[in-house]
Structure 1
Amino acid sequence: MEMTHAPHIQQPRHPRHRETVRRALGGTIEFRHFTGFDQLFAPHAHDYPVIGLVREGHRIMECNRTRYRLGPGQLLALNAGDAHRCVQEGATPLVYDSLALLDFHDCPPFAGPIVEDAEAIALMGDLASLMQEPIIDEAHVEEDLCLLIGLLAAHNEPETSDQTARDLATHSQSEGREHPSPANPAAPNPAAQAMAAYLREHASTTVRLEEVAAAAGLDKYRALRSFTAAFGLTPMRYLASLRVEAAREALAAGASCADAAWAAGFSDQAHLTRAFKERLGMTPGFYQRAIAGAEPADAPTSSPEQVRP
């Protein structure tokens, strides 16, 4: 299909056209969502990396003088300076999520522009969902983003293999079903123990990955590998499990769900409810009623507190 540069005219918007832009991590990343998008992207380049996921529709993209056909499920990884453009193909308008890494100075180069990797695609989907939450869980976003960058990197550090990156991604998507065991990690090492101690000490406060890494004297990419190898969980999954246990104890002592969430370090009650059910198989309210003898032990746990999808 011939790539043509259309005249500069105002095009009518598709009836479903919608755009969303949100920033996180202190403005260092910007999430952009497009629905019902059928206009062309003129030739351009960014001075920052961009990761994109096509949800619906087809496009013909030209990047660095090579042409690609894009369709649903296609993941893009564009390095700073990659010259690209794209035009609509077919009648279905574009639904597209992207993350612009505006100020991620330590981001390694990507091996894109087209990435065919199921784990990376799943991580990008998770990130898009996180960025559209009413309250963005920035620690979770940062961790998943670092895992995704590790999968997309064109040049990993010598000790990092593709399989290591995949193992990290798999752990990140396990949704915390494993429970942390600080006293008996799979492969004890001082760096992992130092990070675990930091997480336990700061579990009720806002925690950033770079702070956890600094506790062990590592950069955040090495910290992720070291911690996950030792505990079978990424640092933020480990932290979420610590917080769930703290909230469980508070609920058992009679605290309200909102107070238990706040005291444990969750940003709101909805985040507690989701993390609690993912790890313990029941909502916080059901747990509290059950241990108080007000709920039969085999009652359904999906209502009245429904976990948000």
Structure 2
Amino acid sequence: MDRQKPPNDWIKIAPPSGKIERIEAYFSGHGYEPHRHDTYAIGRTLSGVQSFNYRGSKRHSLPGNIMVLHPDEIHDGEAGTLDGFQYRMIYLEPALIQKILGGRPLPFIVGGITTDPRLFAATEPLLTAVENSFEILEEEDALYDFAQTLATVGGQNFHRRTFDYKAAEIARQYRQYIDSAFSQNITLDELSLISGRDRWSLSRDFRALFGTSPYRYVTMRRLEYSRRLMGMGLSLSNVAVESGFSDQSHMTRQFIKTLGISPGRWLKIINKGSA
């Protein structure tokens, strides 16, 4: 498929809410390079055929299909036909899902696409138009219903290492430290000293609770911050330094690797979506 960057692609981002990130987007051809999130990516195809590689196979999501991409799973995205595709997506921290489920393993949807009407109904309140906002209680109720439905439909088929709540609390403290110091050169040894837990146990507990590695979590926080700075009009070189990357090329590599799109292209389609 032609990988030229068509000028009519766009992404709209919903206003910040309590616990989720929401987008709506359209791509007329190639959308994203292979990348992975440290969150669940839950979406619905609105029009066209949304094609992506996921866990060794090519998947094709049709209008009305629900996509449930597990944290840390590599995927890409492109139009399956010449008509392009439009979709909505939400991103949920795995720790939130696990907290709602009382510490049970993270649910997994085989193949990443489902037509199960229970998940369609459970995602309906969350996959609303990006212009719509949530009341706090409304969002929390919808998230609770979704997590329970996801566990039922997924059957808890994908098991990751369990963890005890003492270890989970240490991992949460670890995350809080990262959130406040992501622009610094954080190491496992440093965090091991802070937490009093050996670094490999700390890394294992972090993965069990948050569904991704500590380093990828740091990278995601840096990328979130870089997008905010880019939206404020800072130059890409200054954004890279302020966000904790070694230079602009380092930020660009991580942007493409993690989000599947370059910073420059992200700015163009964001500006188009908000026009």
Q: Which has the higher contact order (CA 8 A, sep 6+)?
A: 2
TM-score (norm 2): 0.47
Q: Per residue, is there more helix in 1 or in 2?
A: 2
